């Protein structure tokens, strides 16, 4: 990577701006998912007639999701923690942005994937990881990379990384139960009586409903938090055009990657800077974790105009 230019940000952009609408949406989503989770556990207890097993397993999985989400994500995306000596310019950009935003410096990681992307994970700002792929580092100019990293750091600062991690837990568990019930019926149905089969069918139905509801709630929150992160990054760096350029470049390059090579990555779309979608996402776009590229670019264009007006003679 080349040397990153001075960002030239005015004092008015010295921190990530709070987003009350994002905070409200996170609160509502967690409340609704909490109610759904309690109902889900209660239904499983009634159906399986073993509250100890259900509560212990659910608590253990939730704890693992919360405490080890960063390690799980890094492992899944083949990421590794890198020291300052190995990637000095990457560390320098993150250090400067964190100083500008007055936030703790996260652990820095790099994934060897060619797909250009980045993500942030971790349970709070003091235990966060920001990971970029080598494909991203190779393709972006310094100012563009700065915009992407500011976007990811805003997720950490707004604490929506932790919220989306916890929120996604219920859907993951429900999905696993659906698969378990399906394969249990498929391969062991002949050995069960009617009552047992009915219980499994009920568990599968409840889990499927929970998965569908949590899926929709998480998608709605995820799309808004991406717009909030774009806004915060543009305001922090004072360069919405650089972030817009990065979005355009990364989205275009990902669209050219064969869909079969993106399937593994798609499970982590909610965490990515831009989703790992193929050339023709089709109906998947309706349930996307991210707003459309056009929406994101339109918002950045408005912010660019606002910052231009503020910097003009006689502006505020």
Which residues are catalytically annotated? 152
CA-based radius of gyration for the chain = 21
For the chain, percent helix, then strand, then coil, each to nearest 5?
Answer: 70, 5, 25
Per the annotation, does 86 bind a ligand? no
Per the annotation, does 151 bind a ligand? yes
Asked if residue 242 lies in contact with residue 147, where contact means CB atoms within 8 angstroms, the answer is: yes
Strand order in the sheet with 79-81: 79-81, 107-111, 128-133, 118-122
Calculate the dihedral angle through the C-alpha atoms of 211, 212, 217, 223, rounding to the nearest 10 degrees: 110
How far is CA 3 from its chain centroid?
Answer: 28
Q: 108 pairs with which residues across the strands?
A: 130
The closest alpha carbon to 232, from 9, 1, 19, belongs to 19
Q: What length does the chain have?
A: 316
The closest alpha carbon to 156, from 16, 11, 303, belongs to 16
Please give the full DSSP string across 293-308, using - where no structure is assigned.
HHHHHHHHHHHHHHHH
Using CA atoms, how far apart are residues 104 and 130, in angstroms rounded to an integer? Answer: 12
Per the annotation, does 226 bind a ligand? yes
Handedness of CA 262, 264, 270, 271 (dihedral sign): negative
Q: Which residues are annotated as a binding site?
A: 151, 155, 226
Q: Which residues are annotated as a binding site for Zn(2+)?
A: 151, 155, 226
């Amino acid at each position: 990577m080349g040397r990153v230019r001075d960002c030239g940000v005015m004092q008015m952009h010295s921190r990530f701006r709070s987003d009350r609408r994002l905070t409200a949406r996170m609160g509502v989503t967690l409340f609704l998912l909490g109610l759904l989770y309690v109902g889900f556990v209660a239904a499983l207890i009634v159906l399986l007639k073993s509250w100890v097993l259900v509560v212990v397993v659910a608590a253990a999985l939730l704890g693992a999701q919360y405490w080890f989400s960063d390690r799980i994500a890094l492992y899944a995306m083949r990421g590794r923690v890198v020291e300052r000596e190995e990637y000095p310019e990457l560390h320098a950009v993150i250090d400067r942005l964190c100083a500008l935003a007055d936030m703790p410096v996260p652990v820095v990681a790099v994934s060897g994937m060619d797909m250009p992307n980045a993500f942030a994970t971790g349970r709070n700002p003091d235990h966060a990881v920001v990971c970029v792929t080598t494909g991203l580092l190779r393709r972006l100019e310094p100012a563009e990379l700065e915009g992407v990293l500011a976007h990811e750091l805003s997720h950490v600062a707004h604490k929506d990384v932790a919220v989306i991690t916890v929120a996604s837990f219920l859907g993951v568990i429900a999905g696993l139960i659906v698969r378990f019930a399906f394969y249990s019926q498929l391969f062991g149905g002949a050995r069960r009586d009617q009552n047992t089969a009915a219980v499994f069918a009920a568990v599968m139905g409840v889990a499927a409903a929970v998965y569908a509801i949590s899926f929709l709630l998480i998608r709605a929150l995820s799309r808004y938090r991406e717009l909030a992160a774009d806004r915060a990054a543009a305001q922090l760096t004072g360069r919405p055009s650089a972030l817009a350029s990065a979005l355009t470049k990364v989205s275009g390059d990902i669209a050219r990657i064969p869909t079969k090579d993106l399937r593994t990555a798609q499970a982590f779309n909610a965490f990515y800077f831009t989703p790992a979608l193929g050339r023709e996402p089709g109906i998947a776009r309706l349930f996307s974790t991210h707003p459309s590229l056009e929406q994101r670019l339109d918002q950045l264009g408005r912010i660019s105009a606002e910052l231009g007006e503020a910097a003009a003679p006689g502006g505020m």
